[in-house]
Chains A and B, each alone.
Chain A
Amino acid sequence: MMMVELGVSSPLAAVVAVLGLEWSYTLRNVVAGAAVLGVVGGVLGSFATLRRQSLLGDTLAHAALPGVCIAYIITGSRESLPLMIGAGLSGLVGTLFYLLITRTTRIKDDAGLGIVLSTGFGLGLLLLTYVQNTGGSGQSGLDRFLFGQAASLVRNDVITMSILGAIALATVVLLFKEFKLLSFDPDFAASIGYPTTMLTILITALLIVAVVIGLQAVGVILVVAILIAPASAARQWTDQLSTMLVLSGLFGAVSGAIGAILSSQITDLPTGPAVVLIATTLTAISLLAAPRRGLLWAAISRRRHRQRVQLASILHDLADAAAGEAGAVIPLTDLQAKRGVPGRLMTRQLAMLASRGLVARSINGREGWSLTAAGAEATAEASRRERVWKQYMARQMDLPVDAIHYDATEIERVLPPEALAMIEAELRAEDAAAIGRASDVVAGPPRRPSRPTARPGQAP
């Protein structure tokens, strides 16, 4: 490399070494260029993934390669602007070809993308070989368009990329509302008079711009990563489209910049793979650690749920065994026999309940536990919710399946307010009737006594 000789052997060492680097002309260009392509790719990639068209980005990129070669053959220039224009036009032709074959024949979307991608790439490689052979090996430097070479960026390249990127981003800001509706519900958008075909062409053209910006730095083969990975990572952290776009742009810029620095420091490491690895790492971290959507979060909440169910069961057991007698002490051995859980686990769970003031321990000869007043109240409330739930489940067997896994503690989340009020009124009437008869209240559902799929005490 033309940079300082570092003698680094690992990417990590390279990053650290960068801190001691001279903030040189080349490094500035590399970082600025990679950041620009990261921001633009991240923002437009978000729309592409939400519209389920991320592979269109990949196809565009591969279809752009012939354009790069043809532009070079015609102009003989290594300047980035003519090459970018060639790439953009070629990507556009690829898109139109894709639309043509999927709309007029029975070829499906994925096959259509595959055809355009492979044809474009094949043609591109053919032309690349031709250029290399006629102009002397490596003369054209076009091979940097395959895997990307951020270090080859000069100031003019970065300026061109920045102008194109700014136009693309400004369009997104201006048409944010329109693009959002187009992505979420295109039929509705068309029904209120949005020119959806024109908007689709526009958003695809912007995607082409994003790809073209990234070609020299990241290469046709891997530029798709800067479209998909930051968007997927950003989606994990937010439920708002605007926030997602900002985050995605940020993730894109960070991966672009770090990847470019790495590749400029490590001999023979193309920029594309470096950027891909950084972006994918960000995505992996997001998939794991993001609140609510992340895998870790899911595991923790599953664990919490199981524990909540188990704690509720213990309270129920205590209430059952007490049979209405306030403060009745139940021997630990009885509780253990009923639950069939390991003794240590039960002791720990009882201690947890005690720390919340729901149960009290008493040692009178042998260990026993009783419900406190607060514990009795909590148990009664849980029973009430469960009864509402049971009643609802029995009545409304056409409840959508996705709603059934909730347990009764989240009842407001599933039941519409009218239903909740209606069933509660019904239960009150039932209770009043039962008291009138002075007989046992049978909480079982009036008909179809099928067992509810999920309720406290029956953890999946």
Chain B
Amino acid sequence: MSTVQTSDLGVIPATLVESQRRRSAAPTGDETVATGPPPVEIRDLTVAYHERPVLWDVDLTVRPGKLTAIVGPNGAGKSTLIKAALGLVPVAAGWVKIFGEPFAEQRRLVAYIPQRGSVDWDFPTDALDVVTMGRYGTLGWFRRPGKRERQIAMDKLRQVGMADFARRQISELSGGQQQRVFLARALAQEADLYFMDEPFAGVDATTERAIVELLQELRSQGKTVVAVHHDLNTVDDYFDDVALLNVRLVAYGPVDDVFTHANLHATYGGRIGFLSGGPAETSAAVAD
């Protein structure tokens, strides 16, 4: 048999389950930190809209080469944290450094996947063209993407299993396929640090698997991923580290250490009743 069935995720390739088991067995908490400045260093970050604080005094230093999830309730400032790191929203106080320098000087090292719902998918363009946009940052002003750029874009489409859809108008793609196109665009940026805003939102289970595999591949290449994530049941399966956020940073660290019931309660208040209905493994992890 090549597949294993679990209670709520449907079909999972057996190899994937194995690799996850191996990973969970290995110690993740106290590895020596790699040399060099951290991929993301956030100090005293405060962001406000119309005087209402969205983020309050957040300090966070992301470990290199890890998959980090940002979780928290709606309106907790998860997307805003990423956008502040990328200079997309004005910062009221504090600063963010990317590999030791301000983001503006490190753009080429960073890839960004916005929320899928943030763009108009009826825009007149096709999948390959969107992925090619990942090369625009290195192209410079006025220059048009050429053969080389399209070649890279095609490779990345292949990597996310979308090679057959290169010339498909983007509105004719399913939600999962659109998310894959966005992933391929980020890969085309050939960065060291990947910010992803809800990469698993609204995708089919198979695409979710494919994205997880891709994240693990990025990690094996030493890349760092910071992703806003909404499904508490999969945090310990998919990620190494987790940042629990609710305007303030409640906790940050290896999933095994900080993804605890007490921390979740502090983040979500009384709104985590649904967790008790989750898979046994998650409940166990939460009860630690």
Q: Which residues of A line the B interface, CB within 8 A?
A: 50, 52, 106, 174-178, 180-181, 183-185, 187-194, 235, 238-241, 243-244, 395-396, 398-400, 402-403, 413-419, 422-423, 425-426, 429
Contact = CB atoms under 8 A, between A and B. Distances in A.
Interface in B140-159: 141-145
Nearest to B2: A425
Given A400-B175, A422-B3, A188 B104 contact: no
Nearest to B135: A192
Interface stretch (B20-28, B61-69, B202-210, B247-255): B202-210
A192 B136 CA distance: 8
Interface in B198-251: 202-207, 209-210
A350 B174 CA distance: 35
Residue among B10, B11, B126, B206 with most chain A CB within 10 A: B206
A175 B133 CA distance: 14
A323 to B, nearest CB: 33
Contact of B204 (A241, A243, A399): A399
A182 to B, nearest CB: 11
B123 interface: yes
Interface string B86-104: 1110000000000000001
Interface in B157-194: 161, 164, 169, 172, 174-177, 180, 185, 189
6 contacts: A175-B141, A177-B142, A187-B112, A396-B204, A400-B174, A402-B174
B119 interface: yes
A52 B119 CA distance: 12
A177 B123 contact: no
A239 B203 CA distance: 24
Given A50-B120, A239-B169, A416-B210, A188 B125 contact: no
B174 A240 contact: no
B83 interface: yes
Contacts of B144: 176-177
B174 A192 contact: no
A403 B205 CA distance: 13
A177 B136 contact: yes
B176 to A, nearest CB: 7
Contact of B133 (A176, A185, A396): A185
A43 B180 CA distance: 31
B204 A418 contact: no
Contacts of A402: 174-175
A188 B133 contact: yes
A52 B122 CA distance: 12
Contacts of B130: 184
A184 B123 contact: yes
B125 A184 contact: yes
A416 B141 contact: no
Contact of B104 (A106, A174, A193): A193
Nearest to B123: A184
Contacts of A398: 204-205
A109 B77 CA distance: 24
A37 to B, nearest CB: 23
A395 B10 contact: yes
B6 to A, nearest CB: 11
- Secondary structure type dominating chain B contacts: mixed
A189 B133 CA distance: 9
B39 interface: no
Contacts of A403: 174-175, 204
Nearest to A397: B10
A222 B138 CA distance: 42
Contacts of A414: 174
Interface string B1-36: 111000000110100000000000000000000000
B208 to A, nearest CB: 9
B161 A190 contact: no
Contacts of A185: 114, 118-119, 133
A407 B47 CA distance: 47
A187 B114 contact: yes
B161 A191 contact: no
A183 B142 CA distance: 16
A103 B68 CA distance: 34
Nearest to A189: B136
B137 interface: yes
Contact of A416 (B125, B133, B142, B176): B176
A411 to B, nearest CB: 12
B261 interface: no
B139 interface: yes
B202 A400 contact: yes
A193 B133 contact: no
B264 interface: no
Given A238-B124, A239-B125, A239-B126, A191 B112 contact: yes
B107 A192 contact: yes
Contacts of A175: 141-142
A258 B207 CA distance: 52
Contact of B107 (A193, A418, A419): A193
B77 to A, nearest CB: 16
Given A188-B114, A429-B1, 9 more contacts: A175-B142, A177-B142, A185-B133, A187-B118, A192-B137, A193-B137, A240-B126, A241-B125, A419-B204
Contacts of A429: 1
B110 interface: yes
B204 A416 contact: yes
Nearest to A242: B124
A209 B214 CA distance: 47
B210 A418 contact: yes
B110 A191 contact: yes
